[in-house]
Amino acid sequence: MELRVLRYFLTVAREGSITGAADFLHLTQPTLSRQLKDLEQELGKKLFNRSSHNIILTDEGMLLRKRAEQIVNMVDKLEREFSSMEEIVSGDVYIGGGETYAMKQIAHVVKELQLNYPKIRYHLFSGNEDDVTERLDKGLLDFGILIDPADLSKYNYINIPEKDVWGVVMRKDSPLAVKDTIQAADLLHLPLICSRQAIQQTLSKNEFVDWFGEDFEKLNIVTTYNLLYNAAILVEEGIGYAVTIDKIVNTSSESKLCFRPLKPRLESGLNLVWRKHQVFSVAADMFLNEIKESFSNLSLDAQEEVQRR
């Protein structure tokens, strides 16, 4: 199976037609059709259902598309890494993570590095823990940002000096909006929209589930989510109350939504993780060193602040 043919296949899948793909690739339609037919024969599976106007991927075609994208992305990443070795400090850094205000700490490091190394480029991938760790394990990401609770046993990691504060996002006209804080009893029997990662009970310790205690089994969870943007739309429509972390959803004066923290206060730690025995590109290694120095300084500042108090 040739990489060139995989790129042809992905182009056809993206364009939705042989004609459009052939024009994009500057190939004749018979040549492209023959390449795809050879690929189907090589795999022994039908990849497309063809019609007069377009093509639709079969289940096998959908699987190949997913794997081909990973292969092509990995090859492109490898080529860029070797290309960057010819320059002083350049290249690409791939970072994945969920929605968290702690990304601001990463942004500070990126900004500092850009001043001295403007040729380094950064690629962000947003997803939940499963999405991020899958791409990490396949080498498609250099680093991941994981929000507790998370399984860190497979990775090297450093703590991000920031905490995510849990609370409830609701409409401003909600009866609960008059409260300054939200307790577990306030949420019983209400329609809740919760993070799938937060409510999973497969980990040995889950501070989110522990916060509710015995009341967790009584919760009326009507919707789960992995990223909050779409969940916030459901809250706006009055579907339910989103139990989530602060500073992700727009709760400004112009918004229909507001955020109220949980009481007792519930916070989640965050970690920057990477694969054990990872061999980094020059750019990724530079980023990690800057992260370690920056986070170390922030930790020292926090200790000094505690001592002053």
**For residue range 276-309, what is the model confidence (pLDDT) as tens digits?**
988 898 899 989 999 998 888 655 444 344 334 3
5 secondary structure, DSSP code: H
Average pLDDT over residues 171-192: 95
Which CATH architecture describes the domain 87-161+269-308? 3-Layer(aba) Sandwich (3.40)
CA distances from 158 to 123, 146, 161, 239 (A): 20, 11, 9, 38
Short-list 147, 170, 174, 175, CA closest to 160: 147
Residue range 163-267 in CATH 1.10.10.60 = no
pTM to 2 decimals?
0.67
**Domain coordinates of the chain in residue numbers?**
3-80, 87-161+269-308, 163-267
Q: What is the mean pLDDT of the chain?
A: 87
Q: What is the CATH number of domain 3-80?
A: 1.10.10.10
Percentage above 70 pLDDT, the chain: 92
Give per-residue pLDDT as tens, 243-289: 999 999 999 999 999 999 999 999 988 999 999 988 898 899 989 99
Per-residue pLDDT at 300 = 43
Three-class DSSP labels, 106-150: HHHHHHHHHHHCCCEEEEEEECCHHHHHHHHHCCCCCEEEEECCC
Fold agreement (87-161+269-308, 163-267): yes
